[in-house]
Structure 1
């Protein structure tokens, strides 16, 4: 595990999250591109995914459900892949949805550029996400986006050594 915790910056409607992982970019790309891997680490520790359906290609989608600790706690998400540049970059749109993949228009959607950059034998993962407005970004921050992502990245950090 690295000592490098997630670094977060916000600017207007943009959220940037950076973190270093002890894994090569190719492996980092792989753990983001299949349900087989995502089932082990996606979602905060208390809200892991237990449903995952992915078509990892440009124009493809990823539908998943995170379930919380209390009966009935669930959050569905839908990703639509716009660009895939193996093993360095994935560009996608991310939405809250229902179990059928219908986008929830009442919650903020976003566009993310996820990059995997070689860094001293490891990978610097940089996620740059744009929301419709600064208010939309603030809404997801108020929902615990940063804390949830930090927990998720810790889970990924614990999962990676099992693959090497």
Structure 2
């Protein structure tokens, strides 16, 4: 069964739609063979086109698969190690991790010493009943940098977490 909508002027040949091969019987023989040849060649050309398109797409998929394999190999070669939140690629350079650990240990030791010193100072202030004011007046000026540090940290937190504020001075300060 052949379905065709031929582009032939109806005034020459009255064909609206050809649904069966026997419908060509009222056409002249040359038009009949022409339509049959065109339909057969069109089917062959379409088959060749689809075969070529399939081959092209198959080649493209092979190329994409090869690219994916290359990227996968590169990713496997790039091994990421996290040490003290530092990403290290062993192929490019190496970081002496022992130095980082020593720095971390030194930092923790210094932090512990400062906390111990502050705790001892607090204990001395609590125990010193006789005239603590003189001692406090003599060391108070040494705590000014600490006060400034605490104030700056609070301002920074306020700026990051609460941009619209009535306190401090920033770009979003409201004035009465």
TM-score category of the 2 structures, normalised to the smaller one: under 0.3
The structure showing larger relative contact order (alpha-carbon pairs under 8 Å, at least 6 residues apart) is: 1
Output the TM-score relative to the length of structure 1: 0.23
Structure in which a larger fraction of residues adopt helix: 2
